[in-house]
Structure 1
């Protein structure tokens, strides 16, 4: 469905995903009354929609030409984190800006996606000064993010880079060689992981080996999802979340709350909405003729798919706990606004495509 350059199917999918997320956040933060965290999440989403609608009306080329400035500003904020950042649960990832705290590493996903699209758009051959700039553009924020520490976000940067290289047309043998190299180097890379990161990876193989430690979150999440059955226990009736068995229930493990209280039916609907949203964006990506627009859309689809897949697998006990939020569902202003920026640029691209498509149809 289209209306004045807007794909209503995408808008409805996104709105429904967010409404389901708000149900989960409301329940996960409810303690006898509406939580300030829930109010914040509502405000984040409303502000996110302003960003989406505003960026959707701006020509993509304007945003594209601003890529370097946006990236450098974000990198500067990321460099401030080790100096002035706020530490929460042993991780220094946030900057306090008055009443708000922002996570520059989260916003870097958008900055890297836009800046990398810009660099690749100017790259004429694989080995060039642009390729060096692209490599440095990823290395700097990745090292800063790993230092926080935040392995999950750092891995998402790698996903952005690899997806853009794939859509740029880099040969498959490069990805095969990279995969083999990572496999060979895995013992060395394992040595550089922090102890808690190693424990989380091992916990996936046998979470009950350390029931009260590294396996606790996975076990409680699996219990919550399994106990939801077909229709769930009912709104605000989830025992794992409301009896405080499930940690991080309003952020990384929000899907566990939704599955426990609403069961398989709403969980399946949420996953289906994500699938339809991603599938429809991918369809547009395959129809675009502009290489840079296709790159950005492909990178956006890859990042959303990666985060949805990893988060769901994590809550089901099939992937390590790596701190990757569920897009537009998990609580968190930085995450909501980051993906709002990405979707806003996607809508800018789609609006331009639809207008050209309509004019083309009128000429027939």
Structure 2
């Protein structure tokens, strides 16, 4: 299998992000030896790379045509969750498949992105049967995910939909009108939020108001990030994580561990790698002429940027805790596999563009 057309910079950036993630998960789960969770994360990453490479060498048009089937299969698994799902910490989000668990709501990010790209590619008018299918394709998984409950993942579906509509060319007045509508309806939305969700929002405003409750996670995370200094305390030497002050340290709050043990230097390196990955995909998106490919790249970059931004703001106490993992860094097989597939499609689009460019130069 030839590697011609592969962008080495994108590959390098992804590998380095994952290596930093390995350090974080290794430290966060370490207890008198290497944790089974770390080994599981390693296996998920290997499987993710296999999927990424296979998809990279798959033509985008084939994946695009398969979008409805992929979406319906994922939706089927999502419907199974309330019936047969496993409950963890009061949330029923996982399907137990023996040695591992599957989180269909996480995979839906990829399926929804691909399917909405497909629908918009077949939409000719703003009001049509395609627009009805589009709203149903978004609302059904969003409602099912909110019922789990998983507000963060449901919001990410909204980001996918809005970003794709934006890149499709929907006028800005639509987004302004939607923002105004959400502002007007915010008291009603607040009423329907669960008690713990309201407490998490209030904790951002004043985490010390409920120090031992809703504010505890944010306070400990901010302490961990701030105590790392310039170069950090060193691997396995983070006091917040290894003295068990920081809950969920290997999942949503993995950046707190990285910042405490690797300091500003490692944190800046991780952010720079994310920036390089996102910037390079945006650059390709601006060059590609195929509307559907450009649309998928735009949605993928928006989702990646959203999750990185929200997770980092959350760990620094600037946003409520909403359960958004840091892509390729947080522990979680479903997240790793989802973003591996997502970037696999992006790399496939980039490879096709670069092969055409190389072929054009060879002809000259």
**For residues 247 and 98 of structure 2, what CA distance do their matches in structure 1 show?**
27
Deviation at 1:358, TM superposition (A): 1.2
- Listed as ranges, the matches of 1:1-364 within 5 Å are 4-364=4-364
**For residues 290 and 212 of structure 1, what CA distance do their matches in structure 2 show?**
53
The Cα offsets for residues 300-342 of structure 1, whole Å up to 9 and x where unpaired, read as 0000000000000000000000000000000000000000010
Deviation at 1:299, TM superposition (A): 0.3
**For residues 57 and 228 of structure 1, what CA distance do their matches in structure 2 show?**
41
RMSD after superposition = 0.9
The answer for unaligned runs of 5 or more in structure 1 is: none
Deviation at 1:153, TM superposition (A): 0.1
Deviation at 1:363, TM superposition (A): 3.1
Deviation at 1:349, TM superposition (A): 0.7
The Cα offsets for residues 225-269 of structure 1, whole Å up to 9 and x where unpaired, read as 000000111110000000000000000000000000010000000
**For residues 361 and 270 of structure 1, what CA distance do their matches in structure 2 show?**
35
Q: Any idea what SS the aligned residue of 2:94 has?
A: strand
Deviation at 1:31, TM superposition (A): 0.4
**For residues 63 and 97 of structure 2, what CA distance do their matches in structure 1 show?**
25
Q: Any idea what SS the aligned residue of 1:6 has?
A: coil
The answer for unaligned runs of 5 or more in structure 2 is: none
Q: Any idea what SS the aligned residue of 1:94 has?
A: strand
**For residues 313 and 180 of structure 1, what CA distance do their matches in structure 2 show?**
24
Q: Any idea what SS the aligned residue of 2:118 has?
A: helix
TM-score where L is the length of structure 2: 0.99
Q: Any idea what SS the aligned residue of 2:117 has?
A: helix
**For residues 224 and 96 of structure 2, what CA distance do their matches in structure 1 show?**
34
Q: Any idea what SS the aligned residue of 2:307 has?
A: helix
Deviation at 1:36, TM superposition (A): 0.2
Deviation at 1:362, TM superposition (A): 2.5
Deviation at 1:361, TM superposition (A): 2.1
Q: Any idea what SS the aligned residue of 2:203 has?
A: helix
**For residues 191 and 94 of structure 1, what CA distance do their matches in structure 2 show?**
27
**For residues 229 and 321 of structure 2, what CA distance do their matches in structure 1 show?**
23
The Cα offsets for residues 132-178 of structure 1, whole Å up to 9 and x where unpaired, read as 00000000000000000000000000000000000000000000000
**For residues 98 and 24 of structure 1, what CA distance do their matches in structure 2 show?**
26
Deviation at 1:97, TM superposition (A): 1.1
Q: Any idea what SS the aligned residue of 2:248 has?
A: coil
Deviation at 1:3, TM superposition (A): 5.6
**For residues 267 and 362 of structure 2, what CA distance do their matches in structure 1 show?**
42
Deviation at 1:99, TM superposition (A): 1.0
